[in-house]
Structure 1
């Protein structure tokens, strides 16, 4: 951990924070989930660097130490894709492996669609690629108390988080999203209040850590899903993956299910996850 270096790189008028460790021609970029930062990939960065890879983990715009977008109301995944391309250009990197989870999986897949020539392979956790013509319509089946539905309204997440100190917010997030059930708040309840103050952290969580027309991803992809990840309970999600329909959009797809894996599998079982990522990367270098 002490060997991880930190730098700020100007990208599209913003200063983005980037953590980096390792050297060499084979580069891996880690893309964090919501509401995480580069730190969630610390175990994987050290392991990949030890295996001879140069590893980078940026904080997305508006996350961690990176500048927020100048006009948040106009922010989109398109910004993150452009940020990644500009970041690679600034560092003189032509081609990379992308490793992403949760929220970060969307720009990872989209970047591989738009810039296939720059992507050697993709590893994702928690979410498969899905064509916009076959979206996951969770909003139609889950109540308003689902955290994505609630927090998409401007100001709601800020108000929910703002009542608590940062350590409590992080603690609650780890507890909420480590469960196998979808977190749903009652009508007059905030998302953060679903977690009782006496609820312990998961045993593995350390307190101190706290226009496209072709939507086929043509690069090699590894999808890792935890059997206890609540995302599998999104309507249609598990069937979409297990039936193999996901391969209609990702022909070169490998799928690994982890029996005890939760939504934070890369922190919960770092050694196992590191082996999976390394095994995939070594196939394509």
Structure 2
């Protein structure tokens, strides 16, 4: 996708990678990914937005994709991502942006809108609702036993589970699990890990190609999953208050 350019922006002591298309001072749309995603998840939307006359930007969060790892990934918070977004807009001299988010990107948007509404011209959230300040709370203790979120929030467990596979296989398994509309990723018992739910013979979702998998796999091979497990899974959302 030659229409999309890539560069690094110094933000809060880290170099964040951004993908960008559409030129000039046209209205800016910033796309915020979730997990296990990266900027690449927005490639088609970015091109469509640029053709419609807008400037499209998709960053990789700190610790994701091509962006720098924070010095202490285990201490990363949603507040860091919100601060990075504000600093990114400042560095690119963008006074206002339209924000589009998916998955936990919606949490970043929800808090950013509350804290910096003067920098937002509008927003769209997908896959999760907008979180008002009073609803920024995870239902602790209400997850089914063996639920993937519970397993990934347990320090060391996901690392041991993921450590048996290369990054490409981990991303493959997660996308297969997340693509199932009829069931949530839940381990059957204490001995089964989340990666074991997917059989090696299970095909990829029809909308996710082997080329896509290779790109995601290479980027997560670079970044690893330490920051991704911390945010969103191990950082309690109520700490934003």
TM-score, normalised with respect to structure 1: 0.70
In structure 2, the residue matched to 1:127 is: 128
In structure 1, the residue matched to 2:201 is: 198
Aligned length: 210
Higher relative contact order (CA 8 A, sep 6+): 2
- Describe the SS at the equivalent of 2:154: coil
1:72-87 mapped onto 2 (5 Å cutoff): 72-87=73-88
- Describe the SS at the equivalent of 1:111: helix
Mean alpha-carbon deviation: is it higher for 34-43 or for 154-163?
A: 154-163
Deviation at 1:136, TM superposition (A): 5.5
Is 1:60 aligned with 2:61? yes
Alpha-carbon distance in structure 2 between the residues aligned to 1:37 and 1:113: 24
TM-score, normalised with respect to structure 2: 0.82
Alpha-carbon distance in structure 1 between the residues aligned to 2:68 and 2:138: 31
8 Å contact from structure 2 (residues 110, 130) kept in 1? yes
In structure 1, the residue matched to 2:232 is: none
Alpha-carbon distance in structure 2 between the residues aligned to 1:135 and 1:118: 21
Is 1:11 aligned with 2:11? yes
Alpha-carbon distance in structure 2 between the residues aligned to 1:158 and 1:15: 25
Deviation at 1:153, TM superposition (A): 2.4
- Describe the SS at the equivalent of 2:134: coil
In structure 2, the residue matched to 1:161 is: 162
Which consecutive unaligned segments of at least 5 residues does structure 1 have?
A: 211-285
Is 1:50 aligned with 2:51? yes
Following TM superposition, the consecutive aligned residue runs of length 4 or more in structure 1 with deviations greater than 4 angstroms are none
Deviation at 1:131, TM superposition (A): 3.1
Deviation digits for residues 105-126 of structure 1 (CA, Å, limit 9, x no counterpart): 1001111110001101111111
Q: CA RMSD in A?
A: 1.5
Mean alpha-carbon deviation: is it higher for 190-199 or for 135-144?
A: 135-144
8 Å contact from structure 2 (residues 111, 133) kept in 1? no
Deviation at 1:3, TM superposition (A): 1.7
Distance 1:206 1:91, change over 3 A: same
Deviation at 1:148, TM superposition (A): 1.5
Distance 1:54 1:60, change over 3 A: same
Is 1:110 aligned with 2:99? no
Distance 1:134 1:124, change over 3 A: closer
In structure 2, the residue matched to 1:281 is: none
8 Å contact from structure 2 (residues 33, 104) kept in 1? yes
Deviation at 1:132, TM superposition (A): 4.5
Alpha-carbon distance in structure 2 between the residues aligned to 1:56 and 1:179: 29
Deviation at 1:73, TM superposition (A): 2.7
Alpha-carbon distance in structure 2 between the residues aligned to 1:91 and 1:136: 32
Which consecutive unaligned segments of at least 5 residues does structure 2 have?
A: 214-241
